[in-house]
Every structure is written in structure tokens, then in C-alpha cells.
Structure 1
Amino acid sequence: MDGNSRWARERLLPRVMGHKAGIETIRRVAESAERRGVRVLTLYAFSTENWSRPRDEVDALMSLFSETIRREVDELSRRGIELRFSGRLQELSSALQDQMRQASERTRVNARAILNIAINYGGRQEIIDAIRELAREGADLSKLEDATLASHLYTRGLPDPDLVVRTAGEMRLSNFLLWQTAYSEFYSTQTLWPDFADADFDEAIASYQRRVRRFGARPEEVPNRGR
């Protein structure tokens, strides 16, 4: 979800207004994904590196997260969407942790789709935390297999993403889902996140559907496209 600050700067607005506009885009994109049959949508809301931003900006973001959860949880529940959170949640404020826990518990029975919010998330940190958890469990790390590590990630139980979309022209992973995106397709658009609309979503999906996903095989050995 890149481009909030640039969007605000181009309009001579405070940076927080860009983040507020970005929150509105989350609602639109979640609805667009639902209409298009996307079963799992993960949004990168706040990285472990984002704590280095100015304190007032971080405080504003945390307030926005809290306000958005409170405002949206009823609607998500009504639409049958499960809300999950991935990251080092224990490092967030106790009030926000409680709010996220309650929202997750309230929507846990929903089965239409999953909206996963990556907050205080870092891909390297996720892998480290998974290995530490395995070590505490007494696992023999010399015999560690892919499935075992995956079952200890923040995203345990979720499928690996088929498509990663980056807005604002960004072309890097930025420490996002490093393990899970091994075979994901990537799509980058110059559109800033607050301006990301249905047409942009459709263009990203159309690009994905034109791809040949090989998973290490030769092109002639892969009969299906965009799968």
C-alpha cells in the first residue's frame, strides 16, 4: 500500500490525510477482491521498519488502525469475512492488541473470504520467530522441513499468495512475505495507493492471468496459464 505520503504531498495536505485516504482504499479493494472471488487478501499495513518514522506519524497510524477496526468489524462480519492479523502483535499497545484479538474472534467463524492485515510485520523477523518457536518446542532443526517451518509462520493456515501487487511504482519486496512469495507473480503499477481503483485491480488480475506459472518446470511442461 505505497504512495499515501506522496498522494498527500501532491495535494499540499498533511501526511496523515494520505494515510486516511489509504484507509478508504482498503475498503474499496477488499470489496473489489470479494466481488472477483479472491478468497484471501493480505494488506501490508505497517512494517517493523516503519517504527523509524516520525513519532507523530506512527501515533496517527496506530490511531487510524484502531478506529478502522472499530468501524469496520461489524460490516466485515455481516459480509462473512474473517479478519486476521499477522506480525509481531505483542509489540503493539495492549489496547490495540485487545481490539485485534476481539475482532479476530468475532469473525473467526466467517468462511466467505479472509482479510489478513500485516501489521508490525517483517518477513525476516517472521522466519526468525518461527525458528525460535520451533527451538522452544524442542524440534530437531537439523531435520527441519518446509511444511514444518510454514506451520510456525504468522500466516500459518493461509495459502501462499498467487499475486503480489505494488503501487506507486515500487519494484521491491520490502521484507514482505519472504518465505511465502517464493513462486508468487509480481505486478507493479504507478498508481498511488489512495487512487487504486477497480480498473487498476482488473489490470493487475488480467496481467496475472496472462502469466505462465512454471514453479521450476519447463514452459512446455505447464499446460495452464495464470494458475
Structure 2
Amino acid sequence: MNKPLDYIFPMPPAGLDPAALDLARIPRHVAVIMDGNGRWAKKRALNRLKGHKAGIEAVRETIRCASDLGIRYLTIYSFSTENWKRPEEEVVGLMDLFAKTMLAEVDGLHEENVRVQTIGDLSVLPEETRRAFDEAWEKTRDNTGMTLVVAVNYGARDEIMRAVNACVQRAVLRAEETGEVTVPTQEVFEQGLYTADIPDPEMVIRTSGEMRLSNFLLWQAAYAEFVVTDVLWPDFNRYEFLRCLLDYQGRDRRFGGVS
């Protein structure tokens, strides 16, 4: 059950009214591109890893707020397939941060009935990092509350090629067995995606003011509403999240039709 709005947003800033939020129209799935950690650190003459560490509190607050509002799926873009190009020190630090944060947070997530799931190719992650995500999944897999989807070593183009290859392999096997050549349906293709059992996001939030998808959920976000905020990720909080949700609820979602 959704918690009262005055509980979720106890001290709204002037001009922001939580009562304007329609709980009956809360999106089922929200995806977030968490951008701006590096710029946040640079503004404070800190190294980039300090920015990533500062962003952890924004992750905690967003998870808590989304769960309290009754959002069923929250996907956070933690590390892309392109992020391996970053300096080695930053990548190594991020992998260590992922492992330590996941192990530190999983008990609290479990108590809140949150299920932790990952999308992406975890096979190339350091063993400690991969084990932390695996342990989080095993501990929370039977929870029935919100599903927290962590996109790590995730790239949408790689995901789409993975699904295409799976369709081709199935078609070849069927042709060998029956002599029939079949054309895969959209539903069959989607079963090859990492998100096979996850509904498409209704809203994608990107922080730091950038206007791009960055290889994130290219297939799934076909009809998502995009909300961009200039706030850098470490400064994102429940009230910025509320602003994004109010923006979303002010849209007329036509899905290609006429209003």
C-alpha cells in the first residue's frame, strides 16, 4: 500500500505541493540515468570517485521514495558497456564501490521487501562484485515489493544483438528439426532481452541536463516519457523526484495516436 504523501514528502520546498501528485497515476516502472557524479566532484575539487560515493545517498533516497510511492520497478543505470573506457583507477574504484554498497544495503532492502535484480553482462565483472550482486539476488528473489533493477555492464545495442542472435539460433534449430523457416515475433524477440520479464518503463529520468539515452533501454524506452533535470545526481533527492513525477503526470501520452 502507498504511504501518505505527507509521510513521503514531509518538508517540501516552497512552491512544490506533494498533494498535486495523483497516486492513481504513478508510473509502474521508472528508469534513471544517474549522471553528473564527476561534475559534482569537479565543482568541489574532488576526484571523480568521491562523486560516485556521494551519489550513493541519492540512490538510497530514490529507492526509498519509489518504494513508498508504490512504484513497482525502478531501474538505475549504474555502469555501461562503454564505461570501461574510463581511467583504470576510476573503474577499479567503481567495481569495489558496487560490491561494498550492495553488501551493505542488501539487508535493509530485504527488510523493505525490495527485490534486487540485475541486467547486463555480469560475467566480466570482478569476482567480488559479481558475487555481491548474485548474493543480493539470492537473498531478495522471493520478495514481493518493488523490484530494483541494477543495470551494470549494460549496453542496449549489445542487448539487442544478444536477442537477435537468440532468435536466429532458435529459428535454425527449428528449421533443422522440422524443415520450416519461421519469422520471430516481437514477443519472441523480447524474450531474448535482459528485461524479458520486466515491463517497459513509462518514464526515464536523466540528471545533469544531458539530452541523450547513452545506449540505455533503446528498445524498451520506445514510448517512455523523458524527464531531464539539471540537478547533478548526488544532489538528486525525493523532492526532485517529485518534480519529475509531476512533470510526467502533466504529459498527454498518446502512443502515436491522436488526443
Query: In structure 2, what is the equivalent of residue 164 of structure 1?
Result: 204
Query: How big is the shift at 1:5?
Result: 0.4
| Corresponding residue to 2:156 among 123, 127, 130 | 123
Amino acid of the residue matched to residue 117 of structure 1?
V
2:99 match: secondary structure:
helix
Asked if the contact 2:225/2:248 (under 8 Å) is kept, the reply is: yes
Query: In structure 2, what is the equivalent of residue 134 of structure 1?
Result: 167
Amino acid of the residue matched to residue 210 of structure 1?
G
| Corresponding residue to 1:26 among 59, 84, 109 | 59
Query: How big is the shift at 1:94?
Result: 2.7
| Corresponding residue to 1:188 among 225, 228, 231 | 228
Over 3 Å counting, the alpha-carbon distance change for 1:144 and 1:192 in structure 2 is same
Query: In structure 1, what is the equivalent of residue 31 of structure 2?
Result: none
CA distance in 1: counterparts of 2:169 and 2:107, whole angstroms? 37
Amino acid of the residue matched to residue 67 of structure 1?
K
CA distance in 2: counterparts of 1:52 and 1:139, whole angstroms? 40
Query: In structure 2, what is the equivalent of residue 222 of structure 1?
Result: none
Over 3 Å counting, the alpha-carbon distance change for 1:136 and 1:217 in structure 2 is same
The answer as to 2:129 corresponding to 1:89 is no
Over 3 Å counting, the alpha-carbon distance change for 1:33 and 1:139 in structure 2 is farther
Amino acid of the residue matched to residue 128 of structure 2?
A
Deviations 1:56-104 (A, max 9, x none): 0000000000001110111111100000010011121233222211210
Query: In structure 2, what is the equivalent of residue 54 of structure 1?
Result: 87
Query: How big is the shift at 1:142?
Result: 5.5
Q: TM-score normalized by structure 2?
A: 0.82
Indicate the larger mover: 1-10 or 101-110: 101-110
Query: How big is the shift at 1:134?
Result: 2.8
Query: In structure 1, what is the equivalent of residue 38 of structure 2?
Result: 5
CA distance in 1: counterparts of 2:130 and 2:37, whole angstroms? 25
Gaps spanning 5+ residues in structure 2: where? 1-33, 176-180
Query: How big is the shift at 1:133?
Result: 2.4
CA distance in 2: counterparts of 1:139 and 1:30, whole angstroms? 43
Deviations 1:43-65 (A, max 9, x none): 00000000000000000000000
| Corresponding residue to 1:149 among 167, 184, 189 | 189
Deviations 1:137-191 (A, max 9, x none): 3367851111111111111110000000000001111100000000000000000
Asked if the contact 2:167/2:184 (under 8 Å) is kept, the reply is: no
CA distance in 1: counterparts of 2:133 and 2:106, whole angstroms? 10
Query: In structure 2, what is the equivalent of residue 215 of structure 1?
Result: 255
**How much identity, in percent, do the aligned residues show?**
45
CA distance in 2: counterparts of 1:139 and 1:185, whole angstroms? 38
CA distance in 1: counterparts of 2:120 and 2:108, whole angstroms? 24
CA distance in 2: counterparts of 1:184 and 1:6, whole angstroms? 27
Query: In structure 1, what is the equivalent of residue 18 of structure 2?
Result: none
Over 3 Å counting, the alpha-carbon distance change for 1:139 and 1:164 in structure 2 is farther
Taking only aligned residues, the RMSD between alpha carbons, in angstroms, comes to: 1.3
Amino acid of the residue matched to residue 61 of structure 1?
L
CA distance in 2: counterparts of 1:73 and 1:139, whole angstroms? 42
Bigger CA radius of gyration: 2
The answer as to 2:237 corresponding to 1:197 is yes
Over 3 Å counting, the alpha-carbon distance change for 1:179 and 1:99 in structure 2 is same
Indicate the larger mover: 3-12 or 30-39: 30-39
Over 3 Å counting, the alpha-carbon distance change for 1:40 and 1:81 in structure 2 is same
The answer as to 2:213 corresponding to 1:173 is yes
The answer as to 2:51 corresponding to 1:37 is no
